Amino acid sequence: MIKIENLVKRFGDKVAVAGISFTVDEGEIVGFLGPNGAGKTTTMSMLTGYLSSTEGVATINGINILEDPIEAKKQIGYLPEFPPLYLEMTVKEYLNFIYDLKSCTLNREKHLKEICDTVKITDVYNRVIRNLSKGYRQRVGIAQALVGNPKVIIFDEPTVGLDPKQIIEIRNLIKDLGRNHTVILSTHILPEVQAVCDRIIIINKGKIVANEKTENIDELFSGSRRLCLKVCGPAKDILNAIRSVTGVAYAEIIGSSDLDSTSFLVESMPGVDIRKMLFNAIVSRGWTMIGFESMGANLEDIFVSVVDQPEPNVGKKRKSVRKG
């Protein structure tokens, strides 16, 4: 659906995007994750035809954005970082303007009504945009992107500046949209991609440092899995038993409590699932397990480790992890 090959953008001497490639399949929700200044907005600008790439090709539905910009732009709904609203217009006037601007052919009344229902702005339809709250403005911005029912929807930091309740609403809305659209969204907020996206592309300093399914991403970078156990029984014996389980790379006591139980931190070797054997090793010796928690590294840890890597190491680490 979307194919980006070796896209480069330089502003004078400054390299904002340094050769990135990825594809997005139809119906996917892909999260573009990276710290501020990573090049997310610049990439999206090139994808939507707002900026031209210095090098490389972006195609949408097989159409090259530089060769046939008008046709390519028809496939895309775009919500820029700052929603492009004409504040003096009412929501109704604004959406009708967008409808004309995109030379839409769907039934006007019905189409706009559907969109307003989807993004829940029907009750402010006749209000002037200037008087709307930030949350509603953001929704109007999203509504604008949906006009014409484009196949691809691109959101640049769609939840920035919203309060927590609005953030959750917008995230759910984006998830719903993902059922019928291909969605790319950018964010610097880690839980956001985890909550919404099928796949995560991490970008830093203009380069892609990771591109994985959401559910795979923590294992990819932690390499080993960390577990926290709570067991009632003699601490030393239990520790030895844990260490004797094949696949355990490391174990230590991290605390004890009044319930005469002890907590252990256990790390597996990369790519080995030790959970069953660990459980059996404890229970078969007659000790009682009262806690068993998997501590997959969370996205924050991953993110920091990936982004802080000196560049040559990133590739190596990813490769070695893949093999394991």
Partner 1 sequence: MFAIYKRELRSYFISPIGYIFVAVYLAVSGIIFSICTLNAGQDSSVATYFMMLLYMFIIALPLLTMKLFADEKKARTEQLLLTSPVSLMGMVAAKFFAAYTIFAGTYLVSCINFIALYNYGTPNTAVLFGSSVALLLVGGACISVGVFISSLTENQLIAALATIVVILFFMMTSALNSYIDSALIRSVLNWVSIFERFSNFAYGYFDINAIVYYASISFAFLFLTVRVYEKRRWS
Ligand X SMILES: Nc1ncnc2c1ncn2[C@@H]1O[C@H](COP(=O)(O)OP(=O)(O)O)[C@@H](O)[C@H]1O
Rounded Cα distance, 106 and 179, in Å: 20
Q: Shortest distance, CB of residue 45 to Mg ion, whole angstroms?
A: 9
Of the pair 38, 76, the CB lying nearest ligand X is at 38
Rounded to the nearest angstrom, the gap between the alpha carbon of residue 39 and the centroid of all alpha carbons in its chain is: 15
Residue with Cβ nearer partner 1 (84 or 324)? 84
139's tokens: 């929704």
Among 2, 4, 7, 16, binds ligand X (CB under 6 A): 16
- Give, as ranges, the residues between 227 and 286 that touch partner 1 (CB under 8 A): none
CA distances from 230 to 153, 205, 246, 266, 283 (A): 46, 42, 20, 11, 12
Q: Residue 41 interacts with Mg ion (CB under 5 A)?
A: yes
Q: Taking contact as CB under 6 A, which single stretch among the options 31-39, 57-65, 124-132, 294-302 is the one that binds ligand X?
A: 31-39
Cα of 178 vs its chain's centroid, Å? 13
| By CB under 6 A, residue 38 contacts ligand X | yes
User: Scanning residues 48 to 67, which ones bind partner 1 (CB under 8 A)?
Assistant: 48-52
Give residue number: closest CB to Mg ion: 41
Q: How far is the CB of 99 from partner 1 (least distance, A)?
A: 8
- 221 contacts partner 1 (rule: CB under 8 A): no
Q: Is 126 in the site for partner 1 (CB under 8 A)?
A: no
Interface residue with ligand X, options 6, 25, 37, 117 (CB under 6 A): 37
Contact between 91 and 125 (Cβ < 8 Å):
yes
* Options 80, 270, 271, 296; binder of partner 1; rule CB under 8 A: 80
Q: Does 13 bind ligand X (CB under 6 A)?
A: no
DSSP character string of 189-256? -HHHHHHH-SEEEEEETTEEEEEEEGGGHHHHHH-S-EEEEEEES-HHHHHHHHHHSTTEEEEEEEEE
Residue choice 6, 21, 23, 84 for contact with partner 1 (CB under 8 A): 84
> Taking the chain, what is the end-to-end CA distance rounded to the nearest angstrom?
31
Q: Does 208 bind ligand X (CB under 6 A)?
A: no
The backbone torsions φ and ψ at residue 140, rounded to the nearest 5 degrees and listed phi first, read -65, -40
The least CB distance from residue 115 to ligand X, in Å, is: 26
Give DSSP secondary structure letters for 1-22.
-EEEEEEEEEETTEEEEEEEEE
> Which residues in this chain contact ligand X in the complex, by CB under 6 A?
11, 14, 16, 34, 36-42
